[in-house]
């Protein structure tokens, strides 16, 4: 506590006024006293002594008395003056109990004069953080005033001192000793203090109240701003009265009402009578309010109605507010019209997409980033055979073939990088089927993947088919070109060959068997045969030669071919022939069968050439479907004659096997293989309604099987015996060919065969001969294409001149004349050049026999 300060007089420096008065009083007294003494002595002395001598001591005693009493009087006056001063000082401080009241006052009390404090009570000192003595002795008034208030205080003090009328109190910012501001309310009154104007007053520290008020004001302002700036409509509801007591602008906007008018309404008046749940609004809202009052924070959807009658779906949140004397609820309303609309639009769009998803004719997968299937559409189930539940247990790796997993991983990496990818995977179905699926995958913003898959099996097949057709077309075009070429050269070539082959054969006959030239002639013959075969092959292949099918037994044909093959068989190759007895006949072209056997055997011999081994030919009857299904020919059920050609040669690998029937496919060096052999075999087998199968492995030999449909009910034509040279009996033959070497060879051969021959190298000459001398003519053999008159024209003339004359047509071309025309022209035989003596002999015998 502050020490009780000394009395105001003690604090006040001694004023010169009071001392002066004391001296003045003492001086006046001394003058009066010494005057009176002198006068009284003079009166006493004059009356008794009458002489002035005794006067001087009396005067001295009087002076001493005056001096002493003057000093005493002076002291007395001083004492009283002091008492008087003190009494004056305490006139305002009152009695001692009043003084203690001032000292203890909770209000600051001050006396100021000349911009200094004459007195301050302890409370005042405490307000500013000083002691009273510090304030009185050390500070001026402005030291206790904050700079912002100094002008105000100074002006007010000046006006008060001037006695201008003004209010008793005012506020200013004070300054605490520690530097913080104070809010001070001050009262003051002008007084006279020691003869000069001063101000006495009280002072209150209202800092706390001021700050609280300020804080309240600010808080109120913040609350207003907060409410006004809120996007939601916010209101305070007086529950008892059911009206809004406060609201922000959003509420006004929401309901289309403003200010006081809105203040006359409550949420229930601004709602339709019934809520969508069928409850009366009044009851429904009361229920929510009750919940809020009981302490929960209800949030609910509510339909309000604006003044204009518009129904507004809202979300309302209520909370009770502390309030005295009434129940206040704070509510916030969010207009959810847009949210509703958006939700509905979203739901609609969801539904549309779902429909699209389900109706899509592509399979659609939605999968998580780790590949798990999250959603699939109906078509996915149809395509894969797995139902929806099964699919949702799987990952993409389960529905894509293992072989494609590496590719899938690669694609997934690219999708993550680029966001989208187009790929074709092989998908695995429940039944094990695998189909190619064209897949368009997209990375969704949520990291999942959406893939649309289309089964492109058909397209792939169509593509493959197109490629096959294209290839076939190219082959056909190639073959056509070859055919044209072959047709062009075959005629000349065959004529040349006929001369070579014929002459070689004749030479072989005339040379003694031991002649050293025999070997060379044999070589010429072999080479010529090969050349002949080659031309045949090309003609056959390019379909230049007409197929002449007849019902026949395969056995003699096979034996005949084997005989020819045997000639060129290397010593290291053993030939086996196994023919089941009683085989049914087949419908086939004998030349073609011969070609098939020769081609297969040639290949087999090639395969056996280096290592040697066995070539086995077999004929057997089989029934389709065959018990042994290893070869699986694609044939309708029935009986078939099967030709098996097996060799123990080097065999073939899978890659070769795949391509052996392709025309021009060969693994043999140039000059050795043409790649036509198996292509021709294949073509022949097909055109005879048969089938061919092959089984082979590297170093394990090869087996070809050829099936011909059996012709059970038709009698087979007796085979021609080509190998025996039938001796003629001098019958007259007219031989017509414009090629001199051929004509010459034919003349020699026919003569050697025992016939009488007339050779014409000009068809017109032949015609003449027919007209003049035809009586003993037994047969006419004519070339087809000759200058001047064609073979066919010549035959027609011959028919006219000598009906019934057997005719053999010779040709160097492939397909020259159809069977019908041949019958019409009475052509017994079409012979292909080059011919051998055996061929000639057999053809002539056949023709003569027919006309016997």
| Alpha carbons 83 and 421: distance in angstroms, whole number | 116
Lookup: tokens for 244: 């809004």
Nearest Cα to Cα of residue 843 among 770, 761, 746: 746
Helices (H), 194-307: 207-229, 249-255, 259-263, 281-293
Does position 846 interact with ligand ADP (CB under 6 A)? The reply is no
Count of residues in contact with ligand ADP, rule CB under 6 A:
23
Does position 674 interact with ligand ADP (CB under 6 A)? The reply is yes
Rounded least distance, CB 601 to Mg ion, Å: 10
**The one among 468, 668, 697, 717 contacting ligand ADP by CB under 6 A:** 668
Does position 534 interact with ligand ADP (CB under 6 A)? The reply is no
Question: Which among 45-53, 86-94, 530-538, 601-609 is the span making contact with Mg ion, rule CB under 5 A?
Answer: 601-609
Does position 679 interact with ligand ADP (CB under 6 A)? The reply is yes
- Asked if 446 contacts 366 with a C-beta cutoff of 8 angstroms, the reply is no
Which residues lie below 8 Å from residue 541, measured CB to CB, with a gap of 6+?
479, 482, 483, 663, 676, 679, 680, 683
Does position 677 interact with Mg ion (CB under 5 A)? The reply is yes
Q: Hunting for tokens 């003044």 — which residue is that?
A: 307
Rounded least distance, CB 578 to Mg ion, Å: 23
What does 679 bind: Mg ion, ligand ADP, none (CB cut-off 5 to 8 Å by kind)? ligand ADP
What does 683 bind: Mg ion, ligand ADP, none (CB cut-off 5 to 8 Å by kind)? none
**The one among 186, 449, 678, 810 contacting ligand ADP by CB under 6 A:** 678
- Asked if 425 contacts 452 with a C-beta cutoff of 8 angstroms, the reply is no
Does position 617 interact with ligand ADP (CB under 6 A)? The reply is no
Rounded least distance, CB 704 to ligand ADP, Å: 7
**The one among 186, 251, 412, 652 contacting ligand ADP by CB under 6 A:** 652
Restricting to residues 178-207, name those near ligand ADP by CB under 6 A: none
Q: Identify any residues that bridge with 578 across adjacent strands, giving them in sequence order.
A: 618
Cα torsion angle, 420, 426, 428, 434, sign: positive
Lookup: tokens for 129: 């953080």
Does position 603 interact with Mg ion (CB under 5 A)? The reply is yes
Does position 675 interact with ligand ADP (CB under 6 A)? The reply is yes
Smaller CB separation from Mg ion, 670 or 775:
670
Smaller CB separation from ligand ADP, 607 or 843:
607
Smaller CB separation from ligand ADP, 156 or 595:
595
Smaller CB separation from Mg ion, 552 or 676:
676
Restricting to residues 794-813, name those near ligand ADP by CB under 6 A: none
Restricting to residues 695-724, name those near ligand ADP by CB under 6 A: 702
Does position 666 interact with ligand ADP (CB under 6 A)? The reply is yes
Count of residues in contact with Mg ion, rule CB under 5 A:
2
Does position 607 interact with ligand ADP (CB under 6 A)? The reply is yes
Does position 614 interact with ligand ADP (CB under 6 A)? The reply is no
- Asked if 663 contacts 581 with a C-beta cutoff of 8 angstroms, the reply is no
Smaller CB separation from Mg ion, 70 or 603:
603
Q: Identify any residues that bridge with 312 across adjacent strands, giving them in sequence order.
A: 304
Rounded least distance, CB 650 to ligand ADP, Å: 6
| Alpha carbons 625 and 640: distance in angstroms, whole number | 10
Does position 536 interact with Mg ion (CB under 5 A)? The reply is no
Burial of 305 (0-12, 13-18, 19+ CB in 10 A): middle
Which residues lie below 8 Å from residue 92, measured CB to CB, with a gap of 6+?
111, 191, 200
Rounded least distance, CB 538 to Mg ion, Å: 13
What does 826 bind: ligand ADP, Mg ion, none (CB cut-off 5 to 8 Å by kind)? none
Does position 644 interact with ligand ADP (CB under 6 A)? The reply is no
| Alpha carbons 413 and 400: distance in angstroms, whole number | 16
- Asked if 540 contacts 505 with a C-beta cutoff of 8 angstroms, the reply is no
Q: Report angle CA 505, 590, 748 to the nearest 5 degrees.
A: 20
Question: Which long-range contacts does 430-438 make (Cβ < 8 Å, 24+ apart)?
Answer: 430/384, 430/385, 430/386, 430/390, 431/385, 433/385, 434/401, 435/383, 436/460, 437/363, 437/383
Question: Which among 100-108, 401-409, 674-682, 797-805 is the span making contact with ligand ADP, rule CB under 6 A?
Answer: 674-682
What length is written for the chain? Answer: 852
DSSP helix/strand/coil, 154:
helix
For residue 52, what is the DSSP state?
Answer: S
Question: Which among 356-364, 599-607, 694-702, 825-833 is the span making contact with Mg ion, rule CB under 5 A?
Answer: 599-607
Point out the residue whose Cβ comes nearest to ligand ADP. Answer: 677
Does position 604 interact with ligand ADP (CB under 6 A)? The reply is yes
Q: Please give the sequence-ordered ranges of beta strands (E in DSSP) within 407-507, or none if there are none.
A: 420-428, 434-443, 449-455
DSSP helix/strand/coil, 554:
helix
**The one among 207, 275, 475, 656 contacting ligand ADP by CB under 6 A:** 656
Does position 690 interact with ligand ADP (CB under 6 A)? The reply is no
What does 647 bind: ligand ADP, Mg ion, none (CB cut-off 5 to 8 Å by kind)? ligand ADP
Smaller CB separation from Mg ion, 113 or 537:
537
Q: Hunting for tokens 């020259």 — which residue is that?
A: 816
What does 759 bind: ligand ADP, Mg ion, none (CB cut-off 5 to 8 Å by kind)? none
Q: Which residues bind Mg ion (CB under 5 A)?
A: 603, 677
Binding residues for ligand ADP (CB under 6 A): 599, 603-604, 607, 647, 649-652, 656, 660, 665-668, 673-679, 702
């Amino acid at each position: 506590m502050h020490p009780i300060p000394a009395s105001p007089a003690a604090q006040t420096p001694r004023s010169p006024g009071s001392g002066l008065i004391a001296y003045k009083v003492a001086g006046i007294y001394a003058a009066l006293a010494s005057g009176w003494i002198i006068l009284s002595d003079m009166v006493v002395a004059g009356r008794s002594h009458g002489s002035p001598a005794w006067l001087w001591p009396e005067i001295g005693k009087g002076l001493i008395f005056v001096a002493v009493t003057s000093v005493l009087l002076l002291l007395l006056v001083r004492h009283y003056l002091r008492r008087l001063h003190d009494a004056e000082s305490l006139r305002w401080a009152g009695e001692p109990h009043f003084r203690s009241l001032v000292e203890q006052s909770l209000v600051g009390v001050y006396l100021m004069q000349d911009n200094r404090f004459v007195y301050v009570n302890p409370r005042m000192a405490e307000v500013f953080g000083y002691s009273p003595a510090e304030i009185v002795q050390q500070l001026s008034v402005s030291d206790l005033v904050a700079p912002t208030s100094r002008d105000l205080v100074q002006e007010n003090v000046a006006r008060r001192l001037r006695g201008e009328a003004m209010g008793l109190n005012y506020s200013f910012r004070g300054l605490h000793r520690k530097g913080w501001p104070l809010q001070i309310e001050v009262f003051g009154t002008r007084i006279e203090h020691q003869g000069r104007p001063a101000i006495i007053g009280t002072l209150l520290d209202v800092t706390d109240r001021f700050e609280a008020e300020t804080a309240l004001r600010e808080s109120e302002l913040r609350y207003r701003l907060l409410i006004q700036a809120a996007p939601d409509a916010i209101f305070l509801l007086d529950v008892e009265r059911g009206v809004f007591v406060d609201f922000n602008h959003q509420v006004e906007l929401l309901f289309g009402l403003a200010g006081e008018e809105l203040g006359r309404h409550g949420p229930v008046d601004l709602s339709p009578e019934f809520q969508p749940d069928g409850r009366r609004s009044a009851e429904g809202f009361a229920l929510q309010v009750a919940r809020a009052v009981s302490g929960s924070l209800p949030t609910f959807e509510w339909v309000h109605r604006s003044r204009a009658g518009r129904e507004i779906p809202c979300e309302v949140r209520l909370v009770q507010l502390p309030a005295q004397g009434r129940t206040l609820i704070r509510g916030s309303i969010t207009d959810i019209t847009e949210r509703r609309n958006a939700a509905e639009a979203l739901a609609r769009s969801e539904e549309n997409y779902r429909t699209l998803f389900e109706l899509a004719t592509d399979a659609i997968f939605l999968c998580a980033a780790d590949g798990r299937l999250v959603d699939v559409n109906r078509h996915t189930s149809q395509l894969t055979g797995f139902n929806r539940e099964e699919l949702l247990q799987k990952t993409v790796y389960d529905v894509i073939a293992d072989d494609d997993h590496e590719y899938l991983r690669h694609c997934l990496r690219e999708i993550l990088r680029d966001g989208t990818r187009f790929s074709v995977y092989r998908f695995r179905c429940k039944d094990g089927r695998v189909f190619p699926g064209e897949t368009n995958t997209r990375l969704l913003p949520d990291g999942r993947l959406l893939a649309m898959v289309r089964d492109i099996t058909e397209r792939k097949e169509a593509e493959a088919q197109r490629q096959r057709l294209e290839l076939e077309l190219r082959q056909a075009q190639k073959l056509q070109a070859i055919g044209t070429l072959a047709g062009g050269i075959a005629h000349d070539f065959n004529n040349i060959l006929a001369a070579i082959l014929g002459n070689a054969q004749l030479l072989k006959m005339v040379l003694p068997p031991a002649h050293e030239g025999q070997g060379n002639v044999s070589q010429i013959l072999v080479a010529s045969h090969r050349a002949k075969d080659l031309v045949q092959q090309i003609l056959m292949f390019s379909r230049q030669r007409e197929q002449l099918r007849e019902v026949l037994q395969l056995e003699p044909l096979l034996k005949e071919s084997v005989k020819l093959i045997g000639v060129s068989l290397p010593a290291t190759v053993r030939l086996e022939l196994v023919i089941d007895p009683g085989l049914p006949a087949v419908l086939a072209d004998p030349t073609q069968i011969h070609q098939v056997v020769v081609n297969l055997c040639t290949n087999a011999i090639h395969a056996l050439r280096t290592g040697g081994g066995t070539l086995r030919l077999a004929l057997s009857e089989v029934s389709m479907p065959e018990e042994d299904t290893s070869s699986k020919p694609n044939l309708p059920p029935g009986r078939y004659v099967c030709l098996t050609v097996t060799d123990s040669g080097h065999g073939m690998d899978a890659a070769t096997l795949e391509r052996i029937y392709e025309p021009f496919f060969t693994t043999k060096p140039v000059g050795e293989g043409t790649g036509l052999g198996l292509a021709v075999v294949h073509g022949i087998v097909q055109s005879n309604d048969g089938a061919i199968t092959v089984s082979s492995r590297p170093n394990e030999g090869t087996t070809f099987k050829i099936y011909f449909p059996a012709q059970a009910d038709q009698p087979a034509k007796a085979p021609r015996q080509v190998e025996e040279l039938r001796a003629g009996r001098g019958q007259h033959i007219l031989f017509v060919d414009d090629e001199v070497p051929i004509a010459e060879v034919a003349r020699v051969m026919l003569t050697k065969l025992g016939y009488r021959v007339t050779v014409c190298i000009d068809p017109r000459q032949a015609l003449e001969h027919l007209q003049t001398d035809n009586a003993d003519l037994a047969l006419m053999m004519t070339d087809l294409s000759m200058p001047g008159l064609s073979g066919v024209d010549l035959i027609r003339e011959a028919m006219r001149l000598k009906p019934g004359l057997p005719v053999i047509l010779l040709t160097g071309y492939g397909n020259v004349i159809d069977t019908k025309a041949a019958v019409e022209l009475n052509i017994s035989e079409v012979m292909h050049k080059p011919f051998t003596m055996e061929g000639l002999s057999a053809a002539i015998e056949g023709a003569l026999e027919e006309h016997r």
